[in-house]
Amino acid sequence: MNENPSCLLHGSLVIEPASRELLPDLLRIEEACFSAPWSRKMFEAEMTGNPFARFLVARLVNRDAMDTTVVGYLCFWIVFDEVRLMNLAVVQTERRRGIATALVSRALAMGKAEGAVRAVLEVRASNHAARALYERLGFRPFSARAKYYTDPVEDAVLMRLEPLVAEAAP
Ligand SMILES: CC(C)(COP(=O)(O)OP(=O)(O)OC[C@H]1O[C@@H](n2cnc3c(N)ncnc32)[C@H](O)[C@@H]1OP(=O)(O)O)[C@@H](O)C(=O)NCCC(=O)NCCS
């Protein structure tokens, strides 16, 4: 696999911390991507009230290089020695271009720089796209939680990456 996923986007991808002004963009993507989306309050709580939480946003530089479009985001926590991936989405039209890989890779690198030794996440059992993404990054399933999700009710698969590596697995 390409070790620098942003190359797939010909250098036009920018990954950076999200700010509150981007909330409308994040909510629009969230509502389009999930059957039980996070509310504005949940986003705000993560952005302003949770000392462990980090938000990264992915922007694509538009053709004329004068503007950017928000195409994805990742909310994650760095809790002592652990990175927890909490929320990840990429707009439908820009999928399979390496954007989620770039977001997660950046989060893992940030966690590693702060001393994290593992990364964990929960994913719907039926979410084959996300599971394939995480597997490709080196995560492996290690447990499950029955009926963890609602709308629709579904099991969660718990996945772990340990030791934490910042690059995508081959
Ligand atoms: C899951 C999601 C974030 C992936 O975003 P993405 O930017 O398309 O992912 P990437 O382009 O980085 O994909 C990297 C790899 O993951 C795997 N993958 C991603 N989407 C896949 C799909 N639909 N089917 C099979 N494998 C897939 C592939 O191995 C892919 O590499 P490839 O394109 O070279 O084959 C995106 O589909 C999404 O936003 N889904 C809805 C929200 C969601 O499910 N979030 C995750 C909650 S845990």
pLDDT of residue 63: 76
Give the pLDDT confidence score for residue 15 in this predicted structure: 96
Where are the strands (E) in 8-61, listed by range? 13-17, 53-61
- Residues 36 and 24: their CA atoms lie apart, in Å, by 17
Given its phi and psi angles, is residue 10 left (phi above 0), alpha (psi -120 to 50 degrees) or beta? left
What is the assigned CATH class of domain 5-161?
A: alpha beta
pLDDT at residue 144 in the model: 97
Instruction: Report how far ligand 1's centroid is from the alpha carbon of 132 (Å).
Output: 7
User: Chunked in runs of 10, what are the mean pLDDT values of the chain (170 residues)?
Assistant: 46 90 96 95 94 96 84 98 98 97 97 97 98 98 96 96 74
Does the beta carbon of 169 lie inside 6 Å of ligand 1? Answer: no
133 in ligand 1 pocket by Cβ < 6 Å?
Answer: yes
| Residue 136 CB less than 6 A away from ligand 1 | yes
Instruction: Using the mean position of ligand 1's atoms as its centre, give its distance from the Cα of residue 92 in Å.
Output: 10
Question: How many whole angstroms separate alpha carbon 1 and alpha carbon 102?
Answer: 12
The structural domains of the chain, with segments of one domain joined by +, span: 5-161
